[in-house]
Structure 1
Amino acid sequence: MSLTALFAAGDGVFAEYDAPLRAAFARAGLDVTVVTQAAPDTVDYIIYTPSSPLQDFAPFTRCKAVLSLWAGVERIVGNPTLTQPLARMVDPSLTQGMIEYVTGHVLRYHLALDRPATEWVPVVPPLAQDRKVGFLGLGALGRACAVAQAAIGFDVAGWSRTPREVAGVQCHSGADGLAAVLERSDILVTLLPDTPATTNILNATTLAQMPRGAYVINPGRGTLIDDAALLSALDQGQIAAATLDVFRTEPLPADHAYWHHPRVTVTPHIAAATRAETASDVIAANIARVQAGQGLLHEVSRAAGY
């Protein structure tokens, strides 16, 4: 059966995905034609990014699923015209990229690599087993990164909205669990989704619960942090330094205080990029599943928002 997939992912992206998608569909035994324009009633699937100009899904009455190329879906999940099933991207390369980003910055803070060397004064860092690393968020990315830090030898704990079990990681949930993770975290990594329940989860109160001189790494969502509270905590020494990859406004405005703060490292939303080659296999696998009458991989819960 011949299928039509509308590629609606913004300007300039299709050239990157054209050949990988065709190769992935061939490997999956699928006859799929990918187009960038089509009459809505001819479209079987939509391959999507939330930055796409396509925002009205109502005309796509034949569409079986919307398949996002992004891990984050907060910009689409509340769209009232979206009645089709929605899948977010969980891609092995995206996960590996996040593991490498988080590990690099955890080790940077653990080893005090930012300390200027102006004289010969050996400062020996503790071993990983004596450093407590915390994670807010134990979804696919959070679990993978937490397990990677535990494998190095760090004392790792994580918090999630609902109870989880992760090998090698002390898992907590609920309000008491959040406090328990914050209070022990020498280095804290935030990898929660953007939902009303997570907005400003790092604020003046929660930052004050962390050990004085702790570090914050946020490759999750810009809305997780109350910016004014973090800047104040940095100025007061409650937080020693922060590495931030995501922001409420992107690109981060040139006059934003984060650019100029001596203890803030800004990275331009690079922690976990979707790679066309591996993401195309995920797209093909999901179309194959739907065609076989199976459920989507990584289907988004509208109620939970992720």
Structure 2
Amino acid sequence: MSIVIITAGKETIGWEKALKAKRPELEVLVHPDVAAKDKVEFALTWGHPLGVFKEYPNIRCIASMGAGVDHILRDPELPVSAIITKLEDPNLTRDMGLFVVALVLNHMRDLTFYKQNQQQHNWSHKRYLTTDNTTIGIMGMGTLGAHAAAELTKLGFKVNGWARTEKQLATIKVYKGAEELNSFLAKSDILICLLPLTSQTENILNRQTLSKLPKNAFVINVARGRHLVDEDLIALLDNGHLAGASLDVFREEPLPEDHPFWSHPKINITPHIASITDPASAVSQILDNYDRLQRREPLKNVVSPELGY
């Protein structure tokens, strides 16, 4: 059996080297240069061309190169018999937690404000926020959300979570479902989105929900661009309800040159770099599932197409 790598414009050489370093005898193929597509049962993918799996009639596992799977599930022609898996790499989780902490502290201590002042030779200052008077709300209590919550709690923040279903986490109150969303939002001075992208969570950061945040709340989106309604965020920044936002993900990437986010004084932009998969770190769990598939054993980190995660 072999592994085929299928992407649309993403560099594959790192994955090829990492797979061969761990398993020299493994046949690693890169789409579309695959002679016998009917013999391929395992695909490693990110942002694949829609409908491409029709070319692989015997595919049994479609593995994401990252923690997200919305790029796979958006394909209306996925083979119904294929198992879909995601990555749960400790390095990804660690890096996301560190990035979220960095964005929170940047906001708390007004570092962007002082960078702007430096450029203007301006020696003014303003009072900063403290952990005593700031509550953080995290939307999404999966592996990434729970880890970020734990890291922020260590720094002295009060942290609440929100999830689709009930979850029990030590020291963190987790609100659940639509019935508790407004209560969660009302207590979130800093709102962090770490939700999976599903039909239920798309556009969840809209004018109605963001208006429920306390005045001068700050929004951080490190999940997916389609969670956020762009024009609604801008409206609430412009009318003074929100203090600002840090955005790492966008509906269209790269962000179009004429997008208003680029020049908005209350928005910080990073180019989807919060947590980047290291093939050398992640390849072991890919190969573990590859071996499990051969042995007809249950795979790890299986995704429900119905739930979207």
Do both share a fold (TM > 0.5)? yes
Q: Does 1:130 pair with 2:133?
A: yes
- Could you say what secondary structure the match of 1:216 adopts? strand
SS at match of 2:72: coil
Which of 254, 257, 265 is 1:251 aligned to? Answer: 254
Q: How does 1:209-224 map to 2 (within 5 A)?
A: 209-224=212-227
1:193 to 181, 193, 196: 196
Q: 2: CA distance between counterparts of 1:150 and 1:139?
A: 16
Partner of 1:58: 54
Whether 1:43 aligns to 2:40 is: yes
Deviation at 1:298, TM superposition (A): 1.4
Which residue pairs with 2:228 in the alignment? 225
Counterpart of 2:306 in structure 1 is 303
Match of 2:148 among 120, 127, 145: 145
**Do the aligned residues in 2 keep the contact of 1:56 with 1:82 (CA within 8 Å)?**
no
Task: Note closer, same or farther for the CA distance 1:236–1:124 as it changes in structure 2 (3 Å cut).
Answer: closer
Distance (Å, rounded) in 1 between the aligned partners of 2:125 and 2:57: 69
Name which structure has the greater RCO, CA cutoff 8 Å, separation 6+.
1
Write the distance in 2 (CA, Å) between the matches of 1:122 and 1:212.
18
CA contact (8 A) 1:189 1:217 kept: yes
Deviation, 1:65, is: 0.8
What TM-score do you get using the length of structure 2 for normalisation? 0.90
Q: Shift of the alpha carbon at 1:293? A: 3.0
Pick from 100, 103, 114: which aligns with 1:102? 100
1:243-293 CA deviation, whole Å, 9 max, x = no partner? 011111111111111001000011111111111111211211211222333
**Offset at residue 54 of structure 1 (A):** 6.5
Separation (CA, whole Å) in 2 of partners of 1:199 and 1:35: 34
| Equivalent residue pairs, number | 298
For residues 215 and 136 of structure 1, the distance between their equivalents in structure 2, rounded to whole angstroms, comes to 14
Partners of 1:59 and 1:257 lie apart in 2 by 40
| Alignment partner, residue 285 of structure 1 | 288
1: distance between equivalents of 2:9 and 2:74?
23
Work out whether residues 233 and 239 of structure 1, in 8 Å CA contact, stay in contact via their aligned partners in 2: yes
Say if 1:54 and 1:40 are closer, same or farther in 2 by CA, change over 3 A: farther
Q: Partner amino acid for 1:24?
A: K
The offset of 1:71, in angstroms, is: 2.1
Q: In 1, are the aligned partners of 2:64 and 2:72 still within 8 Å (CA)?
A: no
Q: Which amino acid aligns with 1:49?
A: W
- Please, what is the CA RMSD of the aligned residues? 1.9
> Matched residue of 2:94: which SS?
helix
Residue equivalent to 2:110? 112
Give the TM-score taking structure 1 as reference length: 0.91
Structure 1 residue runs of 5 or longer lacking an equivalent are none
Deviates more, 1:33-42 or 1:228-237: 33-42
Deviation at 1:64, TM superposition (A): 2.5
Structure 1 residue 89: Cα displacement: 2.0
8 Å CA contact 1:8–1:54 kept in 2: the answer is: no
Give distance in 2, aligned partners of 1:177 and 1:190.
16
8 A Cα contact 1:185 1:210, kept in partner: yes
Question: What percent of counterpart residues are identical?
Answer: 34
Counterpart residue number, 1:6: 4
In the alignment, the residues of structure 1 paired with residue 50 and residue 211 of structure 2 have an alpha-carbon distance, to the nearest angstrom, of 42
Residue of structure 1 in register with 2:27 after alignment: 33
Mapped contact 2:192–2:221 kept (Cα < 8 A)? yes
Give 1:138-177 correspondences, 5 Å limit.
138-177=141-180
Alpha-carbon offset, residue 136 of structure 1: 0.7
Distance 1:18-1:227 versus aligned 2 partners, 3 A rule: same
The answer on whether the counterparts of 1:147 and 1:167 sit within 8 Å (CA) in structure 2 is no
Tell me which residue corresponds to 2:264. Answer: 261
Structure 2 unaligned segments of length 5 or more: list them.
Answer: none
Aligned-pair CA distance for 1:187: 0.7
- The answer (yes or no) to whether the contact 2:53–2:59 under 8 Å persists in 1 is no
Deviates more, 1:277-286 or 1:72-81: 72-81
Match of 2:69, as an amino acid? Answer: V
What is the rounded CA distance, in whole Å, between the counterparts of 1:121 and 1:62 in structure 2? 63
Q: Which shifted more, 195-204 or 207-216?
A: 195-204
Amino acid at match of 1:103: V
SS of the residue 2:253 aligns to? coil
